[in-house]
Structure 1
């Protein structure tokens, strides 16, 4: 797909995301009165309580957040999101999805999986099918909570209302749906090759650097530091090269084994990287 125009790839991602979200809603969640988090959860709750058409409710519920997105992100994002939300509304109106199952466990898991795939693909296409993160971004600039805490608080309110107005078991199953969708979104966006930053402090840093580059084919960055400062000899220290590199999580075990073979006492720690591009990374940047 790398030879295709960027706008075409984004469009394909967005259309697929719309179709997957429509499938999750009409084939799993709506027939079984299940809910999700975020704006979609609000729309499903309104649909269930007042029996309004879900297509119209989802579109109208997202309008305020699309307007926020115009100012909090950018106009291109807002326009793409408008098109995606309208596309989802049309999908819910006209695509003849059929209910798949009434088994609550299957609905909670696979409804969440397909919803997560849809939202994740839309994000890769440069838009959003749920405006909750825009709201959290807007609110987070005005109060001292993080975006994650704001989203969690909003979703707690949604599921509490669902427990009171519908049934507690349905609300609990819906929490499982939301969790499954969240994990699937992360998987779709990050993929199997989610990047991991690795920092290595070793007395054998020269050999570590050589084998990381020559055997693993990774780019490295070297920081100049000092090691020592032990309790029994606090005043004793000496220079050391601190080696930093970025690998996929599938390569972390191999890297650890390589470093252990060189220096079994080496200090190695990792950190998750949400997005990385450029340098000598082995694959192109995500959309």
Structure 2
């Protein structure tokens, strides 16, 4: 009973994310892209392209084109994901058919930027809800298992074909503006999925690691992980090396400079490098307070 009860809030949260995502995606399509004959990458872009060339109902085209990827998602991810994806795409089709979205603007630059922005928010929220409005990610995962290309390379290749066809059929200018739409949407999706904080992993190698550890924990309130390593091995003194503690911690990107200043205040020669953390949970993580 406890397990089932604890899953109810998550299910409600996922449902709200999905509904919000489909509503906002419908807004981006009906208020910006479709009236101005713009399109995007992925399956959504192909659907818009078919709608523009042959004037088929966009809701039906999106559903039909995504059906193979829904089936593939059920086979290669799980049935729950496939069911959520089907439900979200049906919900998007209902929004496109029944919701009277207003046309916001006909300015090409505004359409390309804000159409992509709102579409990215919609797709990102749906992905936060555990589903996908666009099946190109599923196709990329399927192709990845049968080729040496990365997911990014596969998606880039597919979208390049889409934009080339659009340039030939609808004109180069429309294709270029639509590429801007795709870029804006993809960046917005990353921002929505990764969240506002976007954690950064920081690794510190220093001969004064004990002082740095104390400062990070006692003064900055950070959680740390220690790796045992060796430092030295310089070209002019390769035989000279020492045991050392390698300190690893996670901070938000806004705190990286402060952490660097603290570490370099203790040891100006400390070696620091960072890497982006896509998602972090548990442990000791400091969150921003609302302003």
CA contact (8 A) 2:42 2:159 kept: yes
Alignment coverage as a number of residue pairs = 282
Cα deviation for residue 72 of structure 1 reads: 1.4
Cα deviation for residue 118 of structure 1 reads: 0.1
Q: Which runs of 4+ in 1 moved over 4 A?
A: none
CA distance in 2 between partners of 1:98 and 1:276 (Å): 39
CA distance in 1 between partners of 2:114 and 2:19 (Å): 20
- Which residue of structure 1 lines up, in the alignment, with residue 109 of structure 2? 105
- Which residue of structure 2 lines up, in the alignment, with residue 131 of structure 1? 135
SS of 1:97 mapped into structure 2: coil
Unaligned runs of 5+ in 2: 1-5
Cα deviation for residue 181 of structure 1 reads: 0.3
- Which residue of structure 2 lines up, in the alignment, with residue 182 of structure 1? 186
- Which residue of structure 1 lines up, in the alignment, with residue 85 of structure 2? 81
Unaligned runs of 5+ in 1: none
Cα deviation for residue 21 of structure 1 reads: 0.2
Cα deviation for residue 4 of structure 1 reads: 7.2
- Which residue of structure 1 lines up, in the alignment, with residue 3 of structure 2? none
Cα deviation for residue 234 of structure 1 reads: 0.5
**TM-score, normalisation: structure 1:** 0.96
1:207 equivalent to 2:211? Answer yes
- Which residue of structure 1 lines up, in the alignment, with residue 16 of structure 2? 12
**TM-score, normalisation: structure 2:** 0.95
CA distance in 2 between partners of 1:32 and 1:119 (Å): 20
Aligned partner (choices 192, 197, 203) of residue 193 of structure 1: 197
Q: Give the aligned CA root-mean-square deviation in angstroms.
A: 1.3
Cα deviation for residue 222 of structure 1 reads: 0.6
CA distance in 2 between partners of 1:247 and 1:282 (Å): 7
- Which residue of structure 2 lines up, in the alignment, with residue 244 of structure 1? 248
CA distance in 2 between partners of 1:177 and 1:4 (Å): 36
SS of 1:251 mapped into structure 2: helix
Cα deviation for residue 73 of structure 1 reads: 1.1
Q: Residues 3-152 of structure 1: matches in 2 within 5 Å? A: 5-152=9-156
1:166 equivalent to 2:138? Answer no
1:222 equivalent to 2:218? Answer no
**CA offsets 1:151-203 (integer angstroms, 9 cap, x no match):** 00000000000000001000000000000000000111112211111000011
